[in-house]
Each structure stands twice: as structure tokens, then as C-alpha cells.
Chains A and B, each alone.
Chain A
Amino acid sequence: MQNIPISQSQPGMTLAKDVVRPDNPNGSPLCGKGVELTAPIIMRLQNMGVQSIIVEGHPLWLEGDKTLEELLADLDHRFRRLDDHPRMQAIKDVYRDCIINSMEGSAQNDR
């Protein structure tokens, strides 16, 4: 999933998290997760003052965004002193799965 500015959102993207009112974050959400965005929904959210939304996958490539390969290489780098720690390797595998999952939705969107 990816956090994107509302101005860059496009119809067809799917919300990965509820969108809440910026002035009342504890109130009922403006739009629930799982909803596929349409032009009227985007306009409504913009009018309510929403700045950014979290969508499925990684539909938008912003400057400085890392590819899946780069993210996994960074993970390897952070765990570089833990090769002989089986427990830490297991923890690293969980992170690897999380990274892959968070990026995979984008592949589906591209298809």
C-alpha cells in the first residue's frame, strides 16, 4: 500500500485504509477501505480538506521511490551482521514478506 497526495489520486485506485475527516479523525470515516475511487469520490474528499490517502499497491512512482529489488537489498544490508542468528533471520523473513506484500498490489493494478 502507498500513501499518496489526494491531488495525485486517480479513479480506479483502491483505498487500503479508511479516510477520516481531517478536522474530526475520531468520527465515522468519510470513505471505507476497499472502496474503488471514482472522480466524484476524489472531488468530494478534496472538498472535505483531505490531503492524502492510502491506496492498495504502489500505483504511483514518485521521485526517490525505491523498487522492490532496492527495498529488499536495503533489508539485507540492515541485517548484514546477523547471518548466524537463526531467530533474527526468521524476523527478517517476516519483513521480507511484508515488503513484498506491500508492493505486490501495484503489479495487479498494472495488469
Chain B
Amino acid sequence: MTDRRSEILAVIKDTRSLPTIPAIIGKLNAMSVSDKASIQEMARMVSSDQVLSARVLRLANSPSYGFYRVSTISNAMILLGVDVVKSLALSSSIFEIMEKSVLGLWEHSLGAGVAANIIAKRLRLHDCEEISTAALLHDIGKVIMKIKFPDEYSQLLSSIHNDENYFQEAELELFGIDHAEVGGWLAKYWFLPDKLIEPIACHHDVEKAGNHQVKASVVHLADILIKASGFGFSGDDVVHPLSELAWQRLNLNDVIIRDIIEELEDKMVEVKNFTLELQSADAL
């Protein structure tokens, strides 16, 4: 199985067929490393690519960030942070693919972003925007797997349907690697910070997270809650059990969890409208 796993990783790492990383991101990475560059300079650079800016703003205005109305890249960088804008720029082409070919997964990701935002705010955590972004990106490994291994991916989906497996179990059986690890790898390849990599890579296994167990726990809970609410389709329709460690790390109790779920369900009425509007805008 290890061979199969490294074979899979090798195919994924073959950057020729990875969704292209805009050249601007390389420059942005270099800029954010040097302390000299100001947010304004970085914003000007992203804004110089109109298609990219439009995609980033569209994601920045999604309900995952609690309905900010951001109209410029420079505002997005101030409100959401440079790391978040960078991750949105990097992942925007994947979201484009998701919206067109795996709508259910796009809805699931968007919903997880909304849930994570509500959880992080209710628990008064720092880095709410990073946590929402990690949740928005948590299943990005699934899209890559679908792009790289289209035949196996459909085989995977039908085996889940027939055997009532969890998606992740079926993945491990077929590929020897799961979408969380692939997503974490991709985030690392994009030079995203650990606070985004760990929650993506460990959203099914909070224990594996190092310094960012709390963030991983939020994404783990957000994934479960959005599946419980039945919004979107992540590949299977079975709710996972919540990890005991995540429960403890977030200091949850019955009152808090009820508050979070009620707020999420209330919010989802608006979010459903948001995705419908996006679809009708695309159809025009």
C-alpha cells in the first residue's frame, strides 16, 4: 500500500497538471517574506490581475466570512489578512473547478466555512478569518484527487454508495492516502502557513495536529455540523462522530453546541440563497 501511496503523491506532485499557480502568487510570497513590502504594494500587485482579483473578491464576499462587503483587494487584505487573501488567490482556480463540476462539494466547503466562522466567533478565538479559510479549503484534496484520478474517483463514489462506507475509509482502501493528507500537502506546496496546513491535514484526526489543534478542532466540528445539517454533498452523506479531543480542546458544552447549531441553521437560510444567486448569475 505504501507504494501505491507514494505513486499517488508523485502524480499529484507533478505540477504540470496541477491547477496553475498564478505568477503573481510567487511574487506575493516573496513580498510577504520581506518585511519591507506594505499591504498597499501587495494589494496593487494582486489587483493588476483582474480575473484573479475578481475571483478573490468573490470568495472574500462569500458568507464564510460573515458577509463582509469587500470591494477592493486592499480592503480584503486589511479585513481578512494577507495570508487569507493569498490562500484565496491560490485556491480560486480550484473553487472555479468545484463550482462547475462538483457543486455539492463547493456547497459543503462554503457551508463548512460558515460553520467555522460561527464556531470561532462564539468561542472568541483569535484568527477567525484564518479558521474560516481553513474550513473553506478543508476538502481541497478531494478536488485534486478528482482531477488527477477521474476514473478511480468515480469508482470511489460508487463504492461508497454501495458499501455505505465513510468517504475517507474508501479512499484509504483504494488510494492508500486520504484527501486530508493530499490537501495538507497541497497547502504546504503553496507555502501556506502552518495555521492553515494543520487544520486541513488534520480535520479528520485532530490528534495529529501540532501547534494548531484548536483550529483543527474547529474545522473538524464545522465539517460535522454542516454534514449534519444536510447542506451540500461532500462525497458521502453519513455524519462522523465528533472527536473527544476536539470537544475538550474547544471546551464545548451542551449549551454552547446548541447556540452554535441554532445560529448556523439560522444563517444557512441566507447561505442557500447565496449559492442560488451564484448559480443563476453563472447561468446568465
Q: Is the CB of B241 within 8 A of A77?
A: no
Residues of B within 8 A of A52 (CB): 273
Q: Quick check: is B269 within 8 A (CB to CB) of the other chain?
A: yes
Given contacts A3-B269, A78-B237, A85-B241, contact A98 B228 (CB under 8 A): no
Which residue of A3, A74, A78, A94 contacts B258 across the interface (Cβ within 8 Å)? A94
CA distance A77 to B230 in the complex (A): 10
A-B contact count (CB 8 A): 62
CA distance A3 to B266 in the complex (A): 11
CA distance A98 to B231 in the complex (A): 14
Task: Encode contact with A along B22-58: 1 for CB under 8 Å, 0 otherwise.
Answer: 0000000000000000000000000000000000000
Given contacts A25-B67, A94-B258, contact A82 B239 (CB under 8 A): yes
Q: Which residue of B lies closest to A66 (CB)?
A: B230
Q: Which B residues, 72 to 90, have Cβ-Cβ distances below 8 Å to chain A?
A: none
Q: Which B residues, 183 to 221, have Cβ-Cβ distances below 8 Å to chain A?
A: none
Task: Encode contact with A along B225-244: 1 for CB under 8 Å, 0 otherwise.
Answer: 10111100000011101100
Given contacts A1-B269, A3-B273, A54-B270, contact A94 B262 (CB under 8 A): yes
CA distance A81 to B227 in the complex (A): 13
Q: Is the CB of B237 within 8 A of A77?
A: yes
Q: Quick check: is A30 within 8 A (CB to CB) of the other chain?
A: no
Q: Which residue of B lies closest to A52 (CB)?
A: B273
CB distance from B144 to the nearest CB of A (A): 26
Residues of A within 8 A of B238 (CB): 78, 80-81
Q: Is the CB of A25 within 8 A of B230?
A: no
Q: Is the CB of A79 within 8 A of B230?
A: no
Q: Quick check: is B96 within 8 A (CB to CB) of the other chain?
A: no
CB distance from B37 to the nearest CB of A (A): 30
Q: Is the CB of B247 within 8 A of A87?
A: yes
Q: Is the CB of A88 within 8 A of B239?
A: yes
Q: Is the CB of A79 within 8 A of B228?
A: yes
CB distance from A56 to the nearest CB of B (A): 11
Task: Encode contact with B along A38-82: 1 for CB under 8 Å, 0 otherwise.
Answer: 000000000000011010000000000000000000110111111
Q: Is the CB of A3 within 8 A of B272?
A: yes
Given contacts A91-B257, A94-B258, A95-B261, contact A74 B230 (CB under 8 A): yes
Q: Which residue of A lies closest to B238 (CB)?
A: A81
Q: Which residue of A lies closest to B225 (CB)?
A: A91
Q: Is the CB of B261 within 8 A of A78?
A: no
A sample of 9 more A-B contacts (CB under 8 A), given A77-B237, A81-B239, is A25-B69, A54-B269, A54-B270, A75-B228, A78-B237, A87-B242, A90-B257, A91-B242, A94-B262
23 A-B pairs within 8 Å (CB atoms) are namely A1-B269, A3-B270, A17-B270, A25-B67, A25-B69, A54-B270, A75-B228, A78-B239, A81-B238, A81-B239, A87-B242, A88-B239, A88-B241, A90-B257, A91-B242, A91-B257, A92-B228, A94-B257, A94-B258, A95-B229, A98-B262, A98-B265, A102-B265
B residues within 8 Å of A by Cβ?
67, 69, 225, 227-230, 237-239, 241-242, 247, 254, 257-258, 261-262, 265, 269-270, 272-273, 277
